[in-house]
Amino acid sequence: MAVLGRSVSGRLAYLLLVFVATAGCRSGPEQWGPFRGRMVDAETGAPIPGAHFMVSWERDNPNPVHWTQSFYDAQEAVTDADGRFEILRERRLFTLLVSGPRFSAFAPGYVAESEVALGGGRLYVDDTTLRMRSLNTQEERCTRRPGGPSIAASEKVPLYRAAVQDYRAKLDCSSPLQEQR
């Protein structure tokens, strides 16, 4: 009996196994980065320093009834004085059934309004401007309170989580007007 990999049928079985194991693996900058951009005030165009940006991925889990998702990974960045951020590409080996990236941005007192990649490029892969609209009233800030990262992602993005928690703690959304909404 031939050793696996030495016979023709063994080689074919090996190649089939490698193909099946990597068929669902995603690669390339659209999946793993680097991701970069700039956060600006939508009204003035001024950069927003100290804002937070995160990217997260979920793993698709098959089961006999339906597919479910579970946390796979997350990364974060904080904008510099010019409002720029970058999340570097990390090598990942086994990415079978990992969904595409999800992006989230947080700046105290702002909400994301629009995203524009230069030259019609790929969002956050090509240079992207994220326009953030200022929340001008207390009612608007309370209505648009950020939720923060998932519990599973929280340990991977501690700066993002802490910034959202700090902002929410400082909001006074307990007035009777806010409770009616």
Give residue 7's pLDDT. 66
Q: Could you tell me if 167 and 108 are in contact, meaning their C-beta atoms sit under 8 angstroms apart?
A: yes
Give residue 18's pLDDT. 44
Q: Could you tell me if 42 and 114 are in contact, meaning their C-beta atoms sit under 8 angstroms apart?
A: yes
* Segments in 23-84 forming alpha helices (H): 29-32
Of 85, 89, 91, the closest CA to residue 107 belongs to 85
**Distance of alpha carbon 138 from alpha carbon 135, whole angstroms:** 8
Give residue 24's pLDDT. 44
Q: Could you tell me if 7 and 100 are in contact, meaning their C-beta atoms sit under 8 angstroms apart?
A: no
Tell me the pLDDT band of 106, cut-offs 50, 70 and 90: very high
Q: Could you tell me if 51 and 105 are in contact, meaning their C-beta atoms sit under 8 angstroms apart?
A: yes
> Which tokens belong to 37?
């951009």
Of 65, 74, 69, 38, the closest CA to residue 149 belongs to 74
Give residue 6's pLDDT. 64
Per residue in 6-60, pLDDT tens? 665 655 544 444 444 444 444 555 778 789 999 999 999 999 999 999 999 888 8
Q: Is the pLDDT of residue 178 over 50?
A: no
Of 71, 51, 49, 52, the closest CA to residue 60 belongs to 71
Give residue 181's pLDDT. 45
SS3 53: strand
Per residue in 108-141, pLDDT tens? 999 998 888 877 788 888 889 999 999 999 999 9
H or E element at residue 106 = strand 102-106
What's the angle, vertex CA 45, arms to CA 40 and CA 47, rounded to 5?
Answer: 40
172-to-38, 138, 142, 169, 176 alpha-carbon distances in Å: 30, 8, 8, 8, 11
The topology under which CATH files domain 26-172 is Immunoglobulin-like (2.60.40)
Per residue in 70-105, pLDDT tens? 888 899 999 999 999 999 987 776 777 888 888 999
Per residue in 137-173, pLDDT tens? 999 999 888 888 888 888 999 999 999 999 999 988 8
